[in-house]
Structure 1
Amino acid sequence: MKPALVDATGRPAVNGDGLSAGASRIEELDAEPAVPPASPRKSAIQRRRGASKSVSFAVEDKPAEPEAPPGLFAESMLLLLDYTMVLVPLASFHVVLDVLVYRQYGQEIVLNELLHRGAISFLVLGLIHAVLHPGHAGVGMQMLILLTAMMIGMYLVHVCQTQDYFAVMKQAPPLATLLGWAAIELEPYWSTLAMACVGFWYWCVRV
C-alpha cells in the first residue's frame, strides 16, 4: 500500500526528519544502486555463448545415423579369420597325433608324408566346415553333428582296440581330428553328451 502524501488536515505528510512522504520516497529511489549497462564486449561474449548452446542442442537432438554395413573386403577378412581360427589348430592337432602314433609304434617319421597328410586334413576340414558351419546353430544340424560325433568316437575306440598298428596309424589321427571339430561345432551340453556316450562305449568294450 503506497504511503499517503497528505495528512488528515490536507497538508503534506511529514516524517520524523521533517521531510514530506513524497520527498522521502524520491530520495529512496535515488539512493537505490543503478545496474550498470553491460559492456559491448561482454554482450558479444554472451551472444556467442548462447549461439554455441543452441548449436550443441541442435547436434544432440539430431538422430544418430545408422551404421553402414561392412563392405565385401571386411566380410572376406572376417570369414578368413573364422576359417583360420578353426582349421589351423585342427590341422596342427592332426599333425601332432600323427607324430604321437608313429612314436608309439616305433616307426620312423617321414616329414614329407607328415606334411602331405596335414595339408589333406586341412583341405578336407575346410570343405566340411564350409558346408556344415553356416547352419550349425540349428537344432537339426546339432543333432546330425551329435550323431556323427558319437559314431566317429565309437568307431575310433573299435579301431584302437581291434585293428593292427598300421590301421591305427592311418585312421586314428583323422578320426580324432574330426571328433575335435564336432566338439567345437556342438553346444557344450551336446558335446558333453557325445563324450559321455563314447566313454560308455569304451567301458563296454573293455569289459
Structure 2
Amino acid sequence: MAEPNQPSNRKQRRAAARNDAKNNGSKFNSTTKLDQEGVEYLLAHPDRSGPKGKTLFQLAEERQAELNKGKAAKWTVGDSTPEGEVPFDDDPIGPFGNAILYSVSLSMLHFTLDVIVYSQYREEIVWSEILKRTGTALPIFLFVVYMLHTKTATRFPVLRNTFFFVASVTAGCYMVYSGNIHGYFFVMKTAPPIGTLWVWSVVEMQLPYALVSVLAVVGYLWWNGFEAF
C-alpha cells in the first residue's frame, strides 16, 4: 500500500520532485537568456599563441635521443649525418663483394666479345679456347677490381677517375687502331681483353669523365679517318 501523502503514479512523482527542487533552492535553472559573461565567452578570440608545453614531436625526439645515446659511439658519423642517426652506407657489400660482381660481369663481357670477334671474321668458334681465356681472365679481374675498390683507393676520387680516364682513352684508341691496322688473328687475340678494359673503365668513372673519354675516342676515330667495326 502507498504511504500517506505520497504520489501514487509516475506523473505525480515527477511533479513532486520538481516542487522539491524549487523549494530546496536548486542551483540549476534552465534559461534561454545569456548574461554578460556568456556573451564575452562566445565572442572571445581563440588562443593562437601555440602550445604551452612540449609537443608530441618534441617528446618523441627527446625519447629517440635517449635511445641513441648508447649507439652513437658505435657509428661513424659523417659531416652530413645528424648526431645519433645511422649514417647511410653506399657500399653495403664491401670491396670483395664488388670484386665478385664486377669480375663475373667482366668475364661474361670478355666471353661475349671473344665470340663476336670470331663471328666477325667468319672463323669457326673454338669454344674450348674461348672458355680457357675467360677462365684465365676471371681471377685477374677479381684481383684488379678488389684493389681499386678498397677504402684506400676510393679515398682519392680525383686520382681514381684520372686513372680510369687514361685507361679508357688508351684502350679505346688502341682498339680502334688495332682493328684498322692489324690482321684479324691479332685482333682476335687482343680485342676481347682491351674491349673489356675499355667498357669497365667507362663504367667506373663519374659521368663527366666518362663522357669526355668517349668523345676523345670518337675524335681519334674521326681525326685519323678510321672505320668503326
TM band (smaller chain): 0.5 to 0.7
Q: Tell me, what secondary structure is at the counterpart of 2:67?
A: coil
Residue number among 205, 210, 214 corresponding to 1:186 in the alignment = 205
Structure 2, gaps ≥5 residues long: 1-22, 29-58, 76-90
Structure with the larger helix share: 1
If the length of structure 1 is used for normalisation, what is the TM-score?
0.64
Whole-angstrom CA distance in 1 between matches of 2:93 and 2:163:
29
Instruction: Find out whether 1:107 has 2:107 as its counterpart.
Output: no
Once the two structures are TM-superposed, the CA of residue 114 in structure 1 deviates from its matched residue by 1.2
- Report the count of equivalent residues: 154
CA shift in 2, pair 1:83/1:108, >3 Å: same
Q: Which residue of 1 aligns with 2:107?
A: 91
Instruction: Find out whether 1:173 has 2:196 as its counterpart.
Output: no
What one-letter code is carried by the residue in structure 1 that aligns with 2:24?
E
| Matched-pair contact (CA < 8 Å) for 2:96–2:146 | no
| Matched-pair contact (CA < 8 Å) for 1:133–1:185 | no
If the length of structure 2 is used for normalisation, what is the TM-score?
0.58
Q: Tell me, what secondary structure is at the counterpart of 1:133?
A: coil
Whole-angstrom CA distance in 1 between matches of 2:95 and 2:148:
14
Higher radius of gyration, 1 or 2:
1
Q: Which residue of 2 aligns with 1:131?
A: 147
Whole-angstrom CA distance in 1 between matches of 2:161 and 2:140:
20
Residue number among 67, 79, 85 corresponding to 1:64 in the alignment = 67
Superposed CA RMSD in Å reads 3.0
Percent of residue pairs bearing the same amino acid type: 25
- C-alpha deviations, 1:14-47, integer Å up to 9, x for none? xxxxxxxxxxxx933xx358xxxxxxxxxxxxxx
| Matched-pair contact (CA < 8 Å) for 1:105–1:165 | yes
Q: Which residue of 1 aligns with 2:159?
A: 140
What one-letter code is carried by the residue in structure 2 that aligns with 1:125?
F
